[in-house]
Amino acid sequence: MKIKLEKVGIIKHAEIEFLGLTVIAGENDSGKSTVGRMIYSAITAFGQTEADIRKDKIEKIFNIVRKIAYDFNDNIEDTQKQISTYSQLFAANLDNTTDVVSIFDKFKQEYINRKSNENPFFNKDIVEKNFSDLERILKQTESLEKYIHDFLEKVLYSEFSEQINNSVHGGESRISCIEKDIELFSFNISKNKLLHASVNKNNMFLKKSTLIESPLSLQLKLVLDKAKTTLEIADEIKNNTLSPLWVPAVVPLHIKALLNTLSNVGYIQKIYKPKEISQKINNIIKGEFIFNKNDNDFIFRKTNSKDALKILNTANGVKAFGLIEILARINALNETSLLIIDEPEINMHPEWQLKYAELLIELCKSGVKILVTSHSPYMIQALKYFSQKAAVFGEKTRFYLAERVPNGENWAEIKDVGMDINPIFDKLTKPFDDLINDFE
């Protein structure tokens, strides 16, 4: 599978192949993270299915039923019971128009009867607006093609905030994906607006993408849980469910999506746990992460200890390994997923960088597609060494160098270095070599 990017941010041209492990190395501000976020956005949007449309619709119904129910009842227990009852009834009968209409009429009549009895002068316009919004959502039908287009538009805004096209050169951006001469997807962006998007769902084998930007996401879970993505805010504005009294913090989709995925570890009954990978990680960090349902947060329990550390008191390097272990434990890393890790070395001692690299090669051998961006010679050398040791170097690996165009233009290019990764080391070790030369 090859993904091509033309004029995306500072990236003038990139053609990146995914066979197993793909590594993009380079200095800061050379476009590495831009590539990761763009590929994340594309896989996330084009991996959407009919089931996602239904799930999204049920969530919208739940939010507006909740809004109506809180206005309906004074008693919190009655409110929660009504939210649960009607949300489940609507969800269970979405495909039966007659039943949905009957449930809707019953819900609306209960509300009107109660409110008119309590206060004959209650605002009927507000009532009609709330139920009109609910009725619109219940009747809403949407094709998968349009849903994917709209979803991609919102994901791109969430990840890039209308800063995709090159600010100096302008021009149209194009992103496409090809597998064995078959185009899996493509889309164009001009003036930071999505113009065109197409997908070949029959051949789209990647269903999900996970982007890890920082292990701090694990530490800030309780804070980030209260934040919203632009996708959520856009839907709440459209459905009139966004509170005017509270403006939430806004975070990119990949952060919320990662936390939502990680939280599944506390609720999934059957755990798909690759024992070798989990045991290796637990041996490295000398413990494991556990999701505490009561606190809605993670804790770290050291091996052979009854005491548990709060996530705040756990080293960032430990959290970095823990993220991978949890994702593997709940089967979020598999042959239909793409794992993107942005500069994992930032929180790690060189020794742990080597262990982390070895772990990624093991995941690669199991069939997981991985994209790593890095500016650490330790990490890159280790990824080469362990891929050679596992006999996958060249066959399942690709190494690229991202660097600015030398003539001073506001462009960067990403080049395949092939089997010889020395150009990467030459680039990354140059500042240290210059320092030594100055000293001598």
pLDDT digit string, tens, across residues 344-391: 999 899 999 999 999 999 999 999 999 999 999 999 999 999 999 999
- Which pLDDT band, with edges at 50, 70 and 90, does 307 fall under? confident
Supply the pLDDT for residue 186: 97
- Which pLDDT band, with edges at 50, 70 and 90, does 245 fall under? low
Supply the pLDDT for residue 72: 64
Supply the pLDDT for residue 344: 95
The single-letter DSSP state of residue 432 is: H
User: Stretch 51-75: mean pLDDT, rounded?
Assistant: 81
User: Stretch 74-82: mean pLDDT, rounded?
Assistant: 74
* Among 391, 378, 377, 385, residue whose Cα is nearest residue 424: 377
**In this predicted structure, which of 11-15, 271-275, 299-303 has the lowest mean pLDDT?**
271-275
CB neighbour list of residue 195: distance below 8 Å, 6 or more residues apart: 172, 187, 188, 189
Asked if 287 and 73 touch (Cβ cutoff 8 Å), the reply is no
Q: Indicate if the pLDDT at residue 332 is higher than 70.
A: yes
Length of the chain in terms of residues written: 440
Supply the pLDDT for residue 210: 97
Token pair listed for 331? 């089967």
Asked if 176 and 189 touch (Cβ cutoff 8 Å), the reply is no
Q: Indicate if the pLDDT at residue 24 is higher than 90.
A: yes
- Which pLDDT band, with edges at 50, 70 and 90, does 62 fall under? confident
Higher pLDDT, 147 or 244: 147
Token pair listed for 118? 């309590």
Supply the pLDDT for residue 47: 94
CA 378, chain centre distance (Å) = 27
User: Strands 21-26 and 397-404: what pairing?
Assistant: parallel
Highest mean pLDDT among 75-84, 268-277, 285-294, 315-324: 315-324
d(CA 346, CA 181): 38
Q: Indicate if the pLDDT at residue 269 is higher than 60.
A: no
Overall pTM surpassing 0.85 (yes/no): yes
Supply the pLDDT for residue 412: 92
Other Cβ atoms less than 10 A from the Cβ of 357: the count is: 27
- Which pLDDT band, with edges at 50, 70 and 90, does 232 fall under? confident
Token pair listed for 55? 């799930």
Supply the pLDDT for residue 246: 60
Supply the pLDDT for residue 97: 82
d(CA 430, CA 425): 8
Residue 179 gets the label, from left (phi > 0), alpha (psi -120 to 50) or beta, of beta
Q: Indicate if the pLDDT at residue 429 is higher than 80.
A: yes
Averaged pLDDT of the chain? 87
CB neighbour list of residue 4: distance below 8 Å, 6 or more residues apart: 14, 15, 16, 174, 175, 176, 177, 178
Token pair listed for 245? 């009294």
Q: Indicate if the pLDDT at residue 239 is higher than 70.
A: no
Q: 81-138: per-residue pLDDT in tens? A: 888 888 888 888 888 888 888 998 888 887 777 666 655 555 667 677 778 888 888 8
Token pair listed for 146? 């349009």
Q: Indicate if the pLDDT at residue 267 is higher than 80.
A: no
Higher pLDDT, 59 or 156: 156
SS3 332: coil
Higher pLDDT, 262 or 269: 262
Q: 145-191: per-residue pLDDT in tens? A: 999 999 999 999 999 988 898 877 778 999 999 998 999 999 999 99
User: Stretch 191-217: mean pLDDT, rounded?
Assistant: 92
d(CA 405, CA 26): 13
d(CA 213, CA 281): 19
SS3 208: strand
Asked if 303 and 282 touch (Cβ cutoff 8 Å), the reply is yes
d(CA 317, CA 37): 22
d(CA 67, CA 80): 11
Supply the pLDDT for residue 171: 86
Asked if 330 and 264 touch (Cβ cutoff 8 Å), the reply is yes
